[in-house]
Amino acid sequence: MRWSQLFIPTLKEDPAAAETASHKLLMRAGYIRPLGSGIYSLLPLAQRVRLKVINIIREEMNAIGGQEFVLPALHPTELWEESGRLGTMGDIMFRLKDRKGSDHVLGVTHEEVFTSIARNALNSYRQLPQIWYQFQTKFRDELRPKSGLLRVREFTMKDSYSFDVDSAGLDKSFDLHKAAYERIFARAGLKFVAVEASSGAMGGSASTEFMVLTDAGEDMVVLCNGCDYAANVEKAVAAVDEYAFGNGQSELEKFPTPGLRTVEQLANFADIGAAKNQIKTLVYSADDQLVLVLLRGDHELNTTKLTDYLAAESLRAADDQEIFSAMGAHAGSLGGVGVKTSAGKIKKVFLDNALKGRRNMVTGANHDDFHYKGVDIERDIEATAWGDFRAVKTGDTCIKCGGTLTIEKSLEIGHIFKLGTRYSTTMDASVLVSSGEKVPIVMGSYGIGVERMMAAAVELSHDKKGIIWPQALSPYDVIVNVINGAEEEALAAGEKLYADLSASGIDVLLDDRAERPGFKFADNDLIGVPLRINIGKKLKDGVVELVERSTGANEDVELQNVVQVLKQKVSGG
RNA sequence: CGGGGCGUAGCGCAGCUUGGUAGCGUGUCCGUUUCGGGUGCGGAAGGCCGGAGGUUCAAAUCCUCUCGCCCCGACCA
């Protein structure tokens, strides 16, 4: 296409509302325009990138036997009542009524719709496995849309679903997807890590997230410096470090601690109270039931782990009143010693694994301004269950190799789940197996955010001048810039090159504008096409320049060789 | 939903404290000039000052309400 005829509304200055690099640059370079909070129009350049992303995904999905569907975005509410997710996801769903007053929702994801098809049409194990996918607009009424395309209320998702007879089949479908996702992101030129993740509201047993490491993301991932261990902080586990017990007595003894309310204050009060020798006591309300969570004094609770462990629909910290009425003391003097789950308002007491076998610990006495020392956890505290509830922090020890863990900010671009029979059971999707028995279909669910992938690519690859697209995602393979767009000979050469390149399957953007060179270079750099041919003064010698956007490297190429050189660059790059 | 910030020309902003004819930069249009990193000069068009109500002789400016956008937090695939 000729730039002079294209709609590429570039901006000289950063838009005031934009904060993150991808937001600023996609706006400035004329890719997107906002329509409302978290709602964006994709302009022609963005649509070209979007289609490149979609085509890569489509090829890889087809390669693992995926079959493309298009399902409705508008769903009758009953479908979501049936799966039970109207309650868990209701807040994030856009809801509307039709003219007859029937309730509908806009789909946030499509487990329900695909399952409703599967339950009618899949009846025999002979029909399995199946992998079904689509590219569809998802609507999510986000609490806070932000960062341009990174967190929006309407976006395209590639979602796929696998249907298998048993969990071995699911494992296979899951692994196929994992491999496909790795190829997709690699082909798209995105540097990513696959991490263990929490399944959250999706339900199911296992999940892997595909993350891009960038400060523009909202997730935290834990990475090991010694091995390939990688997990979302929501899920990450660290080894328990060994250290000597406190030197205090082993007899339980109540002692006054006037005004001491925090672990830190207590640690300064006496040697015995060092943070790791204390027990931190937290009260939570899980689905309206009060539970106690005990952690080592220097550890923090990971609420996702607790929610997942309890399979709770809601979890929140108890308020002051609830705490006092259940424990008889205020936060700061709480402890697990003497708490009877059979009698009081506390129904369960969970202990973090890091407390296992600890003696000579200090904890609150459930009496304001008093603590216990000499606490022997196994002896003095009644545990409902032990588990891993603590949040991993930078510097912790890797459970796999003993290396050191670090926490990095990251952006989720894909997520794959083993759903199991969560949906097939509640929605009654089953098949007959060879024995004649009816078994629920074992499902998996797999998503990639298409526009988020675009934005992630920009976050990872840009400079002061603008975007630098990976070759595979760039809206055009190359820009042919006729530097003096007013000069007929140069323009004619540009047109010929444009035709030749196009004929050999290369997407060319011909910058034929009669603007000043500096102006055009700045625009060229901004939109981020990775390769550029400059047709300038050397044209009279039959030579043009090939410029690499990323490095600025500049080489002369004989006009007659350009097609060949570019073909190699485009396919090889 | 809590906290903070912002709505004035296509975009970026000033003006508001102390009410009195709405400005600057950039972009756009016309002319001219220039032609390898956002040219120089001359001219022009373009604003319901987010919306509603109030105070006042007079409101972009003061007061009340409201709508929208951005950031932080809570939350979330």
User: Can you give A342-408 as a three-state secondary structure string?
Assistant: CCCCEEEEEEEHHHCCCCCEEEECCCCCEEEEEECHHHHECCCEEECCECCCCCCEECCCCCEEEEE
Note whether A68 and A159 are same-domain residues: yes
What count of other Cβ atoms lies within 10 Å of the Cβ of residue A182?
A: 15
- pLDDT tens track for A449-477: 999 999 999 999 999 999 999 999 999 99
Which residues of chain A (357-386) touch nucleic strand B at CB < 7 A? none
Residue A243 lies in a domain: no
Query: Quick one: pLDDT band at residue A204, thresholds 50, 70, 90?
Result: low
Query: Do residues A118 and A77 both lie within one domain?
Result: yes
Q: What is the distance between the alpha carbons of residues A362 and A331, in angstroms, rounded to a whole number? A: 15
Amino acid A223 CA to nucleotide B43 C1' distance, rounded Å: 63
Is residue A245 in a domain? no
End-to-end distance of chain A based on CA atoms, in angstroms? 22
Instruction: Tell me whether residue A398 is in a domain.
Output: no
Domain housing A35: 3-236+407-459
> How big is the CA angle at A483 (ends A481 and A488), to the nearest 5 degrees?
100
User: A190-215 in b/e burial notation, b at 16+ Cβ within 10 A?
Assistant: bebbbbbbbbeebbbebbbbbbbbbe
DSSP-derived 3-state class of residue A304: helix
Considering only residues 321-350 of protein chain A, which place a Cβ less than 7 A from any atom of strand B?
none
Residue A541's CATH number: 3.40.50.800
CA distance A26 to A56: 21
Strand B closer than 7 Å to the CB of A537?
Answer: yes
Q: How many domains does chain A have?
A: 3
Of A302, A301, A277, give the one whose Cα is nearest residue A363: A277
Read off the CATH number of the domain in which A158 is found.
Answer: 3.30.930.10
How many whole angstroms separate alpha carbon A395 and alpha carbon A61? 39
Same-domain check for residues A53 and A145 = yes
CA of A486 to C1' of B30 (A): 19
The CATH number assigned to the domain holding A359 equals: 3.90.960.10
| Distance CA A39 to C1' B71 in A | 18
Helix spans in A29-110 (H): 44-63, 77-83, 85-89
**Burial of A31 (C-beta count, 10 Å sphere; 0-12/13-18/19+):** buried
pLDDT for A24-43, tens place per residue?
999 999 999 999 999 999 99
Same domain, yes or no: A17 and A158: yes
Q: Dihedral of CA A147/A149/A154/A157: which sign? A: negative
> Rounded to the nearest 5°, which phi and psi values hold at A566?
-70, -40
Whether any strand B atom is under 7 angstroms from the Cβ of A35: the reply reads no
In a domain, A12, yes or no: yes
Pairing of strands A442-449, A238-239: unpaired
A122 and A218 share one domain: yes
Q: Is the CB of A80 under 7 A from strand B?
A: no
Q: What is the C-alpha separation between A454 and A155, in angstroms, rounded?
A: 12
Structure confidence at residue A247 as a pLDDT band (50, 70, 90): low
Q: Is residue A558 part of a domain?
A: yes
Does the residue A500 lie in any domain? yes
A4 touches strand B (CB under 7 A): no
Highest-pLDDT range among A56-60, A79-83, A335-339:
A56-60
Instruction: Quickly list DSSP for A509-532.
Output: EEE---S-HHHHHHHHHHHT-SEE
User: Do both A12 and A129 map to the same domain?
Assistant: yes
Whole-angstrom Cα distance, residue A470 to residue A467? Answer: 10
- Tokens standing for A401? 């190799």
A179 and A260 in a single domain? The answer is no
Residue A345, amino acid: K
Q: What is the pTM of this model?
A: 0.92
Alpha-carbon span A498 to A485, nearest angstrom: 14
Last residue of a domain, one of A334, A357, A387: A387
| A347 and A199 assigned to the same domain | no
Instruction: Look at residue A304 and tell me if it is in a domain.
Output: yes
In a domain, A396, yes or no: no
**ipTM of this predicted structure:** 0.94
A300 CA vs B16 C1’ separation (Å)? 48
Nearest nucleotide from residue A447 CA, by C1' atom: B77
* Strand ranges in A171-232 using DSSP code E only, listed in sequence order: 193-196, 206-213, 219-224, 230-232
Check whether residue A541 has its CB closer than 7 Å to nucleic acid strand B.
no
CB A536 within 7 Å, strand B: yes
Percent with pLDDT over 90 in chain A: 71
* Cβ-based burial of A275 (10 A; exposed 0-12, middle 13-18, buried ≥19): middle
Q: Which of residues 199-218 of A touch strand B (CB under 7 A)?
A: 199-202, 218
pLDDT interval class at A248 (50, 70, 90): low
A551 touches strand B (CB under 7 A): no
Q: Token pair of A128, please? A: 């399995």
Asked if A186 and A86 sit in the same domain, the reply is: yes
Least confident stretch, A129-133, A375-379, A561-565: A375-379
A232 shares its domain with A257:
no
Collapse the DSSP code of A192 into the 3-class scheme (helix H, G, I; strand E, B; otherwise coil) and give the result.
coil
- Protein-covered nucleotides of chain B (CB closer than 7 Å) are 1-2, 6, 10-13, 25-27, 34-39, 68-77
Which candidate, A441, A444, A405, places its Cα nearest to that of A424? A441
A131/A92 same-domain check:
yes
- Chain A 14-33 contacts with nucleic strand B (CB below 7 A): 14-20, 23
Q: What does R_g of chain A's alpha carbons equal in angstroms?
A: 30
User: Confidence band (pLDDT; 50, 70, 90) for A245?
Assistant: low
Which stretches of A186-321 are assigned E, i.e. beta strand? 193-196, 206-213, 219-224, 230-232, 238-239, 253-256, 279-286, 289-296, 315-317
Q: Are residues A378 and A422 in the same domain?
A: no
